Structure 1
Amino acid sequence: MGTATSSMAAKFAFFPPNPPSYNIIVDGASGKMRISDVNQSDNVDVLKLSTKRGSEIVAMYVKNQSASLTVLYSHGNAADLGQMYHIFNELSVHLNVNLMGYDYSGYGQSSGKPSEQDTYADIEAAYKCLEETYGVKQEDTILYGQSVGSGPALELAIRLPNLRAVILHSPILSGLRVMYPVKRTFWFDIYKNIDKIPLVDSPVLVIHGTEDEVVDFSHGKQLWELCKEKYEPLWLKGGNHCNLELYPEYLKHLRKFISAIEKLPRPRNVSEQPKVQSDQPSNNADPNKEKSRPSTDHREKGRPSFGRREKSRLSASGREKARASTDKRDQKSRKSLDRNMKARNSTDHSERARNSFDRLGDMVRSVGLCNVDCLKQTAAEV
């Protein structure tokens, strides 16, 4: 019963584009990998990364020479890198950041099959690449999780005590809660974000549409209420699950958030470094027991937001202390992979930021992205 229920929950969550929207091609002269059917950019690296669970995933890294921060973007459910390629390039320009996006196992040209555990290994491999290949430090990294991508983003966030910030875009409380208004967390649920968000020490921005027909607006609102370090949220009136990028407020608010984060002092290194190479999520219960445990649905609300005024600064209190792990397997910390490696020098300059956001909106319209609409529909069909 338990295995069947867990398998069913996993099926609700993963619907990679079929067929994939792109292929990988190798330039005969340079030997560089490229994504097919897109206008190539010299400031984009395409990579294949091995995960600890045996998959080989595809990632892309957009270099911005003037950037001081790097965004690690976990995309939504019904998208792959071919669809996100131009959007990632535009976000890099408009937000003045480096940006790495990646396809989950079984998505695009990544090998393997998608599962909760594989997405955790996937984001871990992408983050490790940022550290080892591009010299990106934890304290200069922002995790961005869109819809289902909020799951791997928060799983990694609770393991990075010096993380700069987190952005949650139409996030889910948990997989089961998308389909049913349950008040307790069951062991067979997936992406238990509701239990992880209070453990995140870095500032968190939540973006959600008030008319989201797939992941109810209450998911984003409750996650924001449970944050330790709140930033002024963006509730887009009338926005649904697939069109938030079309609102002018979307990029404006992101730019405001990035600017506020850049003004914060960089978090100091702490003696305890994160462990990002675990085989199981931090809050998994005994898989042989079908017991439920209390949820944080009605947990005390977090501290008031400190980002409501244009000039207000994010609070950095408590950022010098490492967070104690809630699971014994996290007691042994991984040694930092930071070897002071320098980021690759690029001879290519990123495209200058434009005066309007119209082009990004056109891209979103053209690909027609919709990221987790399968969740409720599949539940209804079952």
Structure 2
Amino acid sequence: MAAAPPPPGRVSFRDLCNLFCCPPIPSAIVSKLAFMPPEPSYRIITNPDNSTSLELIEGKAEWPHGQDELRNVEVFHTRTRRGNKIACLYVRPCGDAPFTLLFSHGNAVDLGQMCSFYYGLGFRLGCNVFSYDYSGYGCSSGRPSEKNLYADIAAALSVLKSRYQIPPERVILYGQSIGTVPSVDLASNSPNIAALILHSPLMSGFRVAFPGTQRTWCCDAFPSIEKIPRVKCPTLVIHGTDDDVIDFSHGLTIYEQCPSSVEPLWVAGAGHNDVELHASYLERLISFKTSLLTSDFQNETARNKGIGRSTST
């Protein structure tokens, strides 16, 4: 008779062996669980004057705005501390905006696919948007890995300061899905960051792979749940209640464990990829940005966790 399967949510010894022994290296585990770089949807063109410009590949990325708006998009490479050249994109629909979003995107897209969304989001929020492709994505060199994620976002923040003279106090970190991992890491080590937005965050790799996991294993990938208690800047957590990729419980626990979390946005009925389609998404982002400008966090701070399970539609 075959052995009975372990109870739901329990990590068995066999599970651990299968995950870690085939192949037996954590970096391969991370790649299996998280990274799905698409075929590049853009090119970085070097012009005769050595400036660079963005070229979207037809059929893979769209730009529904005009050519005048495209002139407000800069693209270039910068190098990380791990030696990779990562592609950077700076979208400036608002000129001298009070804040710049440092946006870390999800795992199955690249800058070309995201640039139109960045322009629309920045225009509506009154912010500029700086983003980058992870190592091994788009026009970035190297390969995706957890260590490279942390080096990539550090390089992005550094180039914001050195190339554009934007201090951390004017940077809002925005992470979506896998992008919440480097965003939490950077925020936990950067006390001067203006704010943090976590869109569909995960607690850790094991907790995604094995729902119900209650502890952080020594080789667990992406242990944001261990870092979030060190985040001191105002933190907005956004999650769809019907997310079937990263369960809603991840967002709820991240929110509860962050000492500086503000009133969250739980979008009733939303999944992993459609939160942005709900009106409450933009409304909450605008109110969060407004609170940053007024420094009025007393009303924002949600230490009375009684509102933690409230939802919006």
TM-score, length-scaled by structure 2: 0.82
Select the residue among 137, 147, 171 that pairs with 1:107.
137
> Hey, what does 1:269 align to over in structure 2?
none
Question: Percent of pairs identical after alignment?
Answer: 43
How far apart are 1:84 and its partner, in Å? 0.2
| Cα deviation, residue 45, structure 1 | 1.1
Give CA-to-partner distance per residue, 1:309-341, whole Å, 9 cap, x none.
Answer: xxxxxxxxxxxxxxxxxxxxxxxxxxxxxxxxx
More helix by share: 2
Unaligned runs of 5+ in 2: 1-19, 297-301, 309-313
Q: State the match for 1:14 in structure 2.
A: 35
**From 27, 35, 49, the counterpart of 2:47:** 27
Shift of 1:28: 3.9
Q: Deviations over 1:4-40 (max 9, x none)?
A: 15134212111100x2122222334673322324545
Provide the rounded CA distance (Å) in 1 between the counterparts of 2:203 and 2:121.
26
* 1:241 aligned to which of 249, 261, 272: 272
What CA distance in whole angstroms lies between the structure 2 residues aligned with 1:5 and 1:33? 39
Which segment is superposed worse, 57-66 or 43-52?
57-66
Offset from partner CA, 1:189-243 (integer Å, 9 cap, x none): 1110101111000110000000000000000001001111121111000000011
Q: Which residue identity does 1:110 align to in structure 2?
A: S
Q: Match of 1:55?
A: 84
Is 2:166 aligned against 1:136?
Answer: yes
Distance (whole Å) between structure 1 residues aligned to residue 244 and residue 201 of structure 2 = 13
Query: C-alpha root-mean-square deviation of aligned residues, in Å?
Result: 2.1
**Paired amino acid for 1:94:** R
Match of 1:149 among 166, 169, 179: 179
After the TM superposition, which of the residue ranges 164-173 and 177-186 deviates more from structure 2? 177-186
Secondary structure at the counterpart of residue 304 of structure 2: coil
Shift of 1:140: 1.1
RCO higher in structure (CA 8 A, sep ≥6): 1
Give me the whole-angstrom Cα distance separating, in 2, the residues matched to 1:212 and 1:36. Answer: 30
1:224 aligns to 2:245 (yes or no): no
* CA distances 1:334-377 after superposition (whole Å, capped 9, x unpaired): xxxxxxxxxxxxxxxxxxxxxxxxxxxxxxxxxxxxxxxxxxxx
Greater displacement, 203-212 / 30-39: 30-39
> Does the aligned pair in 2 maintain the 1:170–1:208 contact within 8 Å?
yes
Q: For residues 126 and 186 of structure 1, what CA distance do their matches in structure 2 show?
A: 29
Partner-residue secondary structure (3-state), 2:75: strand
User: Residues 117-196 of structure 1: matches in 2 within 5 Å?
Assistant: 117-180=147-210, 181-196=212-227
Q: CA 1:306–1:93 in 2, change beyond 3 Å: closer, same or farther? A: farther
User: Aligned residue for 2:232?
Assistant: 201
- CA distances 1:244-265 after superposition (whole Å, capped 9, x unpaired): 1111111111111111111118
- Residue 44 (str. 1) matches residue 64 (str. 2): no
Deviation at 1:110, TM superposition (A): 0.4
Q: Secondary structure at the match of 2:87?
A: strand
* Deviation readout 1:108-127 (Å, 9 max, x if unpaired): 11000000000100001100
1:37-92 CA-partner distances (Å, limit 9, x unpaired): 45451111101010111110001011222410111000010010011010011111
State the one-letter code of the partner of 1:222.
T
Q: Which amino acid aligns with 2:105?
A: H
| C-alpha separation in 1, matches of 2:71 and 2:184 | 31
Tell me if structure 2 keeps the 8 A contact 1:66–1:96: no
What SS class does the counterpart of residue 125 from structure 1 fall into?
helix
